[in-house]
């Protein structure tokens, strides 16, 4: 048993390092794009002035449309009040958009959380990754991820909903089967372990093609 415990601890540690590295890379990419856009700001203004001087309004409109599309990929759309949640959510929203997956997010964390940043990263990161993976199996016009995070009394409430191909999904051992292949269900196990350790509540439901995960974590 001690050997098995050590192997599990090593796997968890490796998984946590990989998760943090992935999130860091996503956040760094988002801010690199933002820095690049700011750096090019003067050039954009000069180009627009040149089109306006020629009264080429169609070129102005086309240039503005191109800028709007480019900026939308790096726009910080969520400000929860929690720096870690902001970093994870905005990096994942940026990733989802790059894959043509719309995201509707309503998130507010107005109080200091007792949950560790690592636990928060694991929960939100895995929920978002699972939603993105499931959405990619759908035609673009059917894709949508809904995120809702708020305080319910003294508990942190987290809800993720996405649509999935194949209709209603089947549970095995209290969890829905993953389509990612062997080893990829470890993220779901990590979520369950964290919620259980923190004395929280977790519910997974699949109905009418919509898959929803709801989590309550005591903070008081």
Q: What structural domains does the chain harbor? A: 77-218 (3.30.565.10)
What's the half-sphere exposure (Cβ side, CA atoms, 13 Å) at 26? 24
pLDDT for position 17:
63
Q: How far is residue 87's CA from residue 159's CA, in Å, rounded to a whole number?
A: 18
Low-confidence ranges of the chain (pLDDT < 70): 1-39, 41, 68-77, 166-186, 220
Triad 75, 79, 85: Cα angle to 5°: 105
Q: Count CB neighbours of 130 within 10 A.
A: 24
What is the per-residue pLDDT across 106-121, written as a single tens digit (0 to 9) for each? 999 888 888 888 888 8
């Amino acid at each position: 048993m001690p050997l098995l415990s050590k192997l599990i601890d090593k796997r968890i540690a490796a998984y946590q390092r990989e998760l943090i590295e992935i999130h860091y890379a996503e956040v760094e990419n988002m801010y690199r794009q933002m820095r690049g856009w700011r750096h090019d700001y003067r050039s954009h203004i000069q180009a627009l002035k040149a089109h306006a001087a020629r009264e080429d309004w169609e070129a102005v409109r086309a240039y503005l449309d191109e800028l709007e599309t480019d900026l939308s990929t790096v726009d910080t759309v969520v400000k929860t009040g929690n720096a870690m949640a902001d970093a994870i959510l905005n990096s994942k929203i940026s990733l989802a958009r790059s894959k043509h997956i719309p995201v509707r997010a309503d998130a507010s964390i107005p109080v200091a959380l007792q949950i560790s940043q690592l636990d928060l990263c694991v929960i939100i990161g895995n929920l978002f990754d699972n939603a993105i993976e499931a959405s990619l199996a759908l035609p673009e016009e059917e894709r949508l991820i809904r995120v809702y995070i708020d305080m319910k009394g003294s508990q942190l409430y987290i809800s993720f909903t996405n649509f999935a191909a194949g209709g209603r999904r089947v549970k095995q051992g209290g969890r829905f089967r993953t389509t990612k292949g062997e080893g990829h269900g470890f993220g779901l196990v990590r979520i369950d372990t964290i919620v259980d350790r923190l004395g929280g509540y977790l519910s997974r439901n699949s109905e009418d093609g919509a898959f929803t995960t709801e989590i309550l974590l005591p903070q008081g």
